[in-house]
Amino acid sequence: MIPFLEKIKENNFVVLGRAGMDLYPDPPGTKTEDATQFVAALGGSSANIATALVKHGSKASLVTSVSDDAVGRFALNQLDKYGIDHRYVRQVGGEFRNSLALAETRIEDHQSVIYRNGAADFQMTVDCVEKVDYASFAALITTGTVFAAEPSRSAAFHAITLAKQAGLPIIFDVDYRPYSWPSPDIASEVYSKVAALSDIIIGNDEEFDFMAGGENPGLEKAQILAANSKRIVVYKMGEKGAITFTDTEEIHTGIYPVKALKPTGAGDAFMGGFIAALAQGLPIKECILRGSASAAIVVTRVGCAPAMPTPQELDEFLQEHPGPQKPEQIKK
């Protein structure tokens, strides 16, 4: 038995990271450069994860900073809409701005344009994270993006320290975004430090390769992180499925092939579905499959936060879908 899984069953999560605005060219399939109208939705990986959790029936509180302007207020209104607690979200003035993403609902030649200059969420401070009542939560979830700049990086490490002191497991979504970091070397060093402090680590093969600092050592990095520890390490491989490592087992799972509308939102949906299933006390393999199915659903829908499935929608998908397929079964 992995000891922290019992704590996760409390099903109330504190999530570090950004909430922003996503703009989608409308109608679906439209290129950004050809668009005359856009649909706005809540964005930002951490806000998307929080949305996924709440839709699955969990509770989630977001810790971040948003701009003290119309876009920041849009993000706060959207958090209210989805039932995400934002008592720990601080509004900051000056030249800091919320992240903004223009993301196309198309697969072929997909373009996502991210505006992150002077990002408000990087202004999360030590004071911000010290306001959190960690003892009231089941786990702390963080994405890699929060570590890309100061003061957010120091604040996030401090939050991890406070959370661990309160007995919370740390859940880390690697979420490497090169454009946010001053250099790959700094990112690799910081991510390795975060991983060493974490109880659940989720990333794709490229992210683990990067974190390991070599060309193809990512799988070995995942194995080492899980060996002789009580961690869960999820090594995602795109259409090849995932390998999940614990100190006692190695679980191979496939994907749920679908006809996707767009490539974005899958990782956030996976995290929400996986963690919510762990909170229900389901076996780890079933949790991975529910996360994979959640990811499959999201890429068939417009948006990220609004596309996250409810438990009923997820159950219906699992009943109707023929099941996860191994790589050799997937039609190219």
| Ordered DSSP codes for 5-55 | HHHHTT-EEEEES--EEEEEESSTT--GGG-S-EEEEEE-HHHHHHHHHHH
Determine the Cα–Cα distance for residues 258 and 300; give it in Å rounded to an integer: 7
Task: Give pLDDT, residue 214.
Answer: 67
Q: Is the dihedral of CA 237, 308, 114, 89 positive or negative?
A: negative
Task: Give pLDDT, residue 178.
Answer: 87
Reduce the DSSP state of residue 117 to 3 states and report it.
coil
Query: Running along the chain, 332 residues long, what does each successive block of 10 average in pLDDT?
Result: 92 97 98 98 97 98 98 98 98 94 96 94 98 98 96 98 98 92 91 96 92 79 89 94 93 95 97 98 97 98 97 96 66 40
What is the CATH class of 4-19+45-95+120-323? alpha beta
In one-letter notation, the amino acid at residue 8 is I
Number of other CB atoms surrounding residue 48 within 10 Å: 34
Task: Give pLDDT, residue 216.
Answer: 63
Task: Give pLDDT, residue 331.
Answer: 43
**Domain residue limits, the chain:** 4-19+45-95+120-323
Q: Is-contact 67 120, C-beta < 8 A?
A: yes
Task: Give pLDDT, residue 159.
Answer: 98
* Residue 93 burial (10 A CB sphere; 0-12, 13-18, 19+): exposed
